[in-house]
A and B are shown apart, each in its own frame.
Chain A
Amino acid sequence: MNSYSANSTASMLSSSTDTFEVQRSTKAGMITLIISIVLLGLSISMPFWAGSSYLRLFTELACYMAMAQMWNLLGGYGGLVSIGQQAFIGIGGYSLFVWANFVGVDPFTSVALGGIIAALFAVPISQLVFRLPGGAFAIGTWAIAEVLRLVVANTYVLGGGSGASLTALRGIDRATRESVTFWIAVAAAFGSVLLVYMLLRSRFGLALTAIRDSEVASRSQGIDVKKIKFLVYVISSFGFGIAGALYFLANIRISPDAAFGISWSPLIIFMVIIGGAGTIEGPLIGAILFFVLSKIFEDYGTWYLASLGLLAVIVTIWFPKGLWGLVVDHFDLRLFPVQRRLRMPENK
């Protein structure tokens, strides 16, 4: 469909009998859908045939996938480069502990509450950080995460600096805990992709993509850029809250440093940049790549982290659109059909 000749004439007033159709699905998209359903089925059945070490590994990967997808929504599309989303990982994680340990809500339900609490926190936090321009916004988000870390570390009931254990899990047998945690992870991984996909296919998605490409032009095309960014921030924080709660549900223990630590941000941003920001496929690839690399090389300590940094530098210099950008440039392949294409009458 991309093979039209480059010459055209001005005011080419075609006859009104021509019928154009707007296409919102592609063959690759159908294949993705089928593969996704198969993968989803396989994933859901995993607790019945896979060992618990695999379940734990995939739960971790699912957290990364959801976080990368949510950071991409925020930074890749919304242009909001935050280095403080660990604030919402921490809020989600700690609210899981509060709801489950203190209030007595079922720990699995508390994961969803973690997302909601994170979204609620995002409303006032956004009012603070949105006043900061460019780089100051990034630093501001980090500062807020640090403030939260210090507040929690100094709150005795939350376990202070040494953290707390998820005692609410005591009455639940190990197999149930591991399976349900894993299923929540599957829901988070697939759900985050589905959420971004649905958003991008809606009218909201047009605005998001437009803002990604040019904020000035977006405004002059009638888009309320501030409102869209606010919504993106809240949605992304909700996702981070869920992912954070899930991560610490799987870990059973939480501490302020683990929950609100700055080390989250570079890893998540690494995944998005390596895979390709501003696409759905990029963060997925980035999360899987990071996960695989970390499992193979994490014993190498400093050298491992230095190599990740080097890889990120190489990709940003030579492949600024990320690994997925390479695929798109060479094969014009899109697994998630979020484009609107016009089908020309003569093609029928």
Chain B
Amino acid sequence: MGTVLSLKKVSKSYGALKVTDDIDFILKDGETLGILGPNGAGKTTLFNLISGDVRADNGSIFYCGEDITRVSPQNRCRQGIGRTYQIPHPFSGMTVFENLLVGATYGGNMSEDQADPICIDVLKKTGLIKKANLLSGSLTLLDRKRLELARALATQPKVLLLDEIAGGLTEHEAKELVDLIGDIKAEGVSMIWIEHVVHALLSVADRLLVINFGSKLADGDPDKVMNDPEVKRVYMGIEV
């Protein structure tokens, strides 16, 4: 398996607060990497650095062998890095279908005619097809989360960043999303998934990365990482 994404000594500070401290890690082609960490550990900042919403102070980010540290968010998306937000950001005045069209036409760089069938396909996969004509602002939380995912998929990503996609959902709803994420994984999309719903994460992740105070605490096989005494103390001690 080749490496699709790698971070080399990436740092980001807000004033005196170091939110990302010399982080190094790689994501392999087709792999699903789970990220765990207490609140405020710097997980979402890590996503913002990868998606380009936030610029790194130091270090480099490589995507498919190319240095993208200074590339704009829109170009990273066009190159194949799709993301969802922890708090859904739907284009609330547009229909669900139009939300996907935006992703497909701009992120996927194609005409609307080319985008139509792709969006319909993603809508079917994500169970949103019957709601295609509803204004996205009127959706329930579960559907907004689905829409986040669907819109990211419409950009036809090689790497998908999922930020607490199962957070705030009922057990049953989370299960539906996990099944969907499993399907996406089966299609060969590489993923990084931040999640507090640990059993959801463990059911899909190939590898786990634990972050605390902006730096890497553990990285490796999910079972080993979950049994690591330091991880148990820092993460499980707080959350479970």
Contacts and interface: CB of A to CB of B under 8 A. Distances in A.
A22 interface: yes
A9 B126 CA distance: 9
Contacts of A13: 124-125
Nearest to B134: A2
B93 A212 contact: yes
Contacts of A214: 89-92
A9 B127 contact: yes
Contact of B120 (A12, A20, A278): A20
Nearest to B105: A203
Interface magnitude class on chain A: 35 or more
A339 B91 CA distance: 13
State the majority secondary structure of interface residues on A: loop
Contacts of B95: 339-341
A184 B51 CA distance: 48
Contacts of A171: none
B221 interface: no
B74 A223 contact: yes
Contacts of B134: 2, 4
A341 B53 contact: no
Contact of A209 (B75, B90, B98, B106): B98
A344 B96 CA distance: 14
Interface in B74-95: 74-75, 77-78, 82-83, 85, 89-95
B127 to A, nearest CB: 5
Contacts of A5: 130
Contact of B112 (A203, A225, A278): A203
Interface string A1-24: 110111011111110000010100
Contact of B74 (A11, A22, A212, A224): A224
Interface residues of B, number: 53
Interface in A211-233: 212-214, 216-225
Nearest to A212: B93
Contact of B133 (A12, A218, A220, A342): A342
A231 to B, nearest CB: 14
B205 interface: no
B94 A213 contact: yes
Interface of A: 1-2, 4-6, 8-14, 20, 22, 203, 206-207, 209-210, 212-214, 216-225, 278, 339-342, 344
Interface of B: 51-53, 72-75, 77-78, 82-83, 85, 89-95, 97-98, 101-103, 105-109, 111-112, 116, 120, 123-134, 140, 151, 155, 176-177, 179-180, 183
Given A342-B123, A344-B130, 8 more contacts: A4-B134, A209-B94, A216-B85, A217-B91, A219-B53, A221-B77, A221-B155, A224-B72
